Chain A
Amino acid sequence: MGYPHPPHPKETVVLSKYFGDAEARTFDGWVKRGGYEALKKALGMTPDAIIEELKASGLRGRGGAGFPTGLKWSFMPKNDGKPHYLVCNADESEPGTFKDREIMRWTPHQLIEGCAIGAYAIGAETCYIYIRGEFTEPWKVMTAAVAEAYAKGALGGNVFGSGKRIDIVLHRGAGAYICGEETAMMNSIEGKRGNPRIKPPFPAQAGLFGMPTTINNVETLSSTSHILTRGAAWYKGLCLSNPKSTGTKLFSVCGHVMRPGNYELTMGFPMKDLIHDLAGGMRPGRRLKAVIPGGSSVPIMTAAEAEAALCDYEGIVEKGSMLGSAGFIVMDDSTDMVYEIWRLAKFYAHESCAQCTQCREGTAWTTKILERILRGQGKKEDLDLLLDLSDQMTGRTICVLSDSCAAPIVSGIKKFPEEFEAYLSRAKAPALAAV
């Protein structure tokens, strides 16, 4: 398997610098490229000093919610005598997102180093990395790298002679999108069904095995080593627009573009350039119709909104959507929006853990309604019903899977009403066979 493209001149490569460089996968190769210097430096700092550095860098969570990482780490209790845990979220199941996979495949030690820094900073001796079951190749690469890190003293009872214990345990998922939600992940590691938990208590109070826990995304943890070696000021300076969005970020681009892939950009980069320049733009003769920028769980953007947006947390909100996990699903003018929205609703219906009524019933019911519209059997009142259901599905459940299903539906009806009308008025031939 090949594929990482040579960096585009407009990319700022930090995390992805060694993608495609097989030697960087080995411990010695990583050390030769400056690896593990940050961990050694961290072990000579106080946990508080590390947390302050992260706060100053402006790093925000790359898993979807964008919560400030330093602040999250500072919530962990101090001197409470309890075991603390770090959980690394490598479940990457959000449609459109495929960046954590590449970090693990190409630079496993970048992640291990980040996990070790995180564990030390929050007072944890154990970090569980939860890797989705389908990621067989990242799993193999990570397994080999963790074994090597132990053999070289970067993990274990006396990390680099510091007297500190840091263990990393790889835990394999088994097929469940919902286990990417942080509390569902904790249940899954504990050997339970992956049902999200009601908060509070928050993970920093009572998380994995009931103990204070911090959970971070693969990309978030991988960014920490660079911040420690190059400094918070450097990271904060990587910002093209809003000072609340700093650093570089991997943007996964897929769908109807000529060059799908991961592009590492400074926060605030114009989305228009990302889609039309870096990702190669549309296929010949095609025009951009829509983009879902945050993985599939956020509102759909029209071409005009997307082309005017800046790629950072605030820039995308300003144009009506959210950055989420930065998996850009690009759709050209050949796309049947109703069909794709149905396929997404079907995804959420399949993945609902079924604890909450609004989610269990709502995801299934909206899928059925969209399906009947596509079969040419839609009713005039179906759009109102979809909007009403979506409203009931938003902000009322234990986790936001239900909201995520509603987001593309509501924005799709609002922004592409004529496509729904075409099916409802029978002007358009059914996309699905009638039953």
Chain B
Amino acid sequence: MTGSTHAHADAPHEPVFVGKVREQLDALFPKYPTKQACLLPALWMVQEARGWISPAAMAEVADVLGLTPAYVRGVATFYTMYHLHPVGRHFIQVCGTSPCHLCGSDDVLKAILKATGCGELGATSADGRFTVVEVECLGACGFATPILIDDDFHDSVTPERVAGILARYP
């Protein structure tokens, strides 16, 4: 589940739901009374495979679940964790909600924006390595400041620890 695949918005769409991924989805169907209930899991599978969810991938999801592409888009846009645009090789989420803000999350965010070369929130660094976003409460307020890099959770991050942590994500 890493954001390591770097796809381009204009590349032709290679189907996601073939082979292993298709088997993964098929194994989910019996767990729900409707196919539609597999929509969030299916979108996760696309993101895991491709790093983001393109309009063509949404159309494919619609097709395998018997929904319309517009419906799938309507749902995908509701949830902030789905990337509807390509992002950097490593996706960094930094908590900025009040409990973490009280403990200095602003400084952590600044240090991360600087060290990654992203400069601003939501932007991808020129080398394509990082995208940084500020997110709301990560449910780990006692371990401020928590950050997520791809699927790895790091707690008690301070500006001083930023360089060492980022070095693990080439």
Which residues of A does B touch, CB under 8 Å? 1, 3, 83, 92-98, 100-101, 126, 132-137, 167, 169, 171-177, 188-194, 209, 252-256, 260-262, 296, 327, 329, 331, 335, 340, 343-344, 347, 350-351, 353
Contact = CB atoms under 8 A, between A and B. Distances in A.
A306 B153 CA distance: 32
A132 B97 CA distance: 17
Contact of A191 (B37, B99, B152): B37
Given A190-B37, A191-B38, A177 B136 contact: yes
B37 A329 contact: no
Interface string B72-92: 001100111110000000000
B31 A191 contact: no
A373 B155 CA distance: 33
Given A175-B79, A176-B80, A191-B34, A136 B151 contact: yes
Contact of B139 (A132, A176, A335, A351): A132
B40 interface: yes
B19 to A, nearest CB: 21
Instruction: Assign chain B's interface to a size class.
Output: 35 or more
Contacts of B33: 83, 209
A252 B80 contact: no
Nearest to A253: B142
Nearest to B65: A191
Contacts of A135: 139
Interface in B135-151: 135-144, 148, 151
Contacts of B82: 174-175
A384 B6 CA distance: 51
Contact of B148 (A95, A134, A190, A262): A134
B137 A93 contact: yes
Contacts of A167: 31
A174 B44 contact: yes
- Top 10 closest pairs, chain A to chain B, by CB: A191-B39, A175-B81, A174-B79, A175-B80, A254-B141, A191-B36, A260-B142, A193-B78, A95-B137, A136-B151
A169 B40 CA distance: 14
A3 B1 contact: no
B103 interface: yes
B41 interface: yes
B24 interface: no
B34 A136 contact: no
A193 B136 contact: no
B112 interface: no
Contacts of A174: 40, 43-44, 79-82
Given A176-B79, A176-B80, A193-B74, 10 more contacts: A95-B99, A134-B81, A136-B1, A175-B79, A191-B34, A256-B102, A260-B142, A329-B102, A331-B102, A343-B101
A319 B81 CA distance: 38
B68 interface: no
